[in-house]
Structure 1
C-alpha cells in the first residue's frame, strides 16, 4: 500500500474523444472510493487525430501525487511517444511507467486498483492482468 498518496493514471490515445470516454468510464466504475487522478491525453493540440508529447507531459504532471504515474497507450505512435518521453528522463514525473495493457480494460483495472490506495507496482500489475480477462 502507498502512504496515502494515489497513483495517477494517464490515458494516451490518438483520439481525444476516446481518451476522455475511457477516463469517464474508469472513473464511473470506481464507485464511492477516493477520486483517483486520471487524465486523458488524446489527439493533437489542435484537436485532430494523433499523439502530442505536450498533452502527455501536461496530463502526467496534472495527475502526479508522488506515488507514481501509470501511462496506458492505445496504438503504435502513442506508445512510441511515451517511450521517447520516458527515455528523455526529465519530461515525465519520477515514477512514471508505460504499462503494457489493453486500453479500456487496463484503464478500468488501473483506476479501480489505484482507488484502493495500492502502490505503483500493484496498479501496474492490475492493468497488465487485464490481458487475461476472458469474454467467452
Structure 2
C-alpha cells in the first residue's frame, strides 16, 4: 500500500491532520506526521520527514503532502522519482484524497493523481 507523510510547520497540525485522514480513510492506511522541528518548535525537519517516510514505506511508494513554504523545500530533499513523490495539493483536501486512494490499493501514480484532483474541489 502507498504510504503518506503529512509535512507541516506545526507538529500539532500534522498530528491532527493524520487523525482526520485515518478517521476518513481507515486506521490501516499508512500515514505519518512530520511536523515541526526536532526540538518541538515551528518549522520543518529533514530528520523527521525521513523517519516518517521509513515508517510508512511498505514498498509501494510514499506521497509527501507538505503545507507551505519551507516544508515544500525540505520535502523536496527526500523525493525519489517513482518511489517518494511530492504532491502539490491543498494540505487537508490533498491528504484525504491521497489516503482514500491509497486505502483502496491504488498504485503510487494513481494516489498522486487523486491527491492532485483536490486542487479542483469547489466548495460552492
Q: What SS does the corresponding residue of 2:34 show, helix, strand or coil?
A: strand
Greater Rg over alpha carbons, structure: 1
Query: In the comparison of the two structures, how many residue pairs are matched?
Result: 124
TM-score by length of 2: 0.95
Which runs of 5 or more residues in structure 1 are unaligned? 1-5
Distance in 1, Cα, partners of 2:82 & 2:115: 19
C-alpha displacement of 1:94: 6.7
Which runs of 5 or more residues in structure 2 are unaligned? none
Residues 1:62 and 2:55 are matched in the alignment: yes
Structure 1 segments, 4+ long, off by >4 Å, are none
Distance in 2, Cα, partners of 1:49 & 1:94: 30
Q: What SS does the corresponding residue of 2:96 show, helix, strand or coil?
A: helix
C-alpha displacement of 1:127: 0.5
C-alpha RMSD of matched pairs (Å): 1.5
TM-score by length of 1: 0.87
Q: Could you give the per-residue CA deviations for residues 63-121 of structure 1, whole angstroms, max 9, x where no partner exists?
A: 000000000000110000111233xx6xxx97000111110000000111100000001
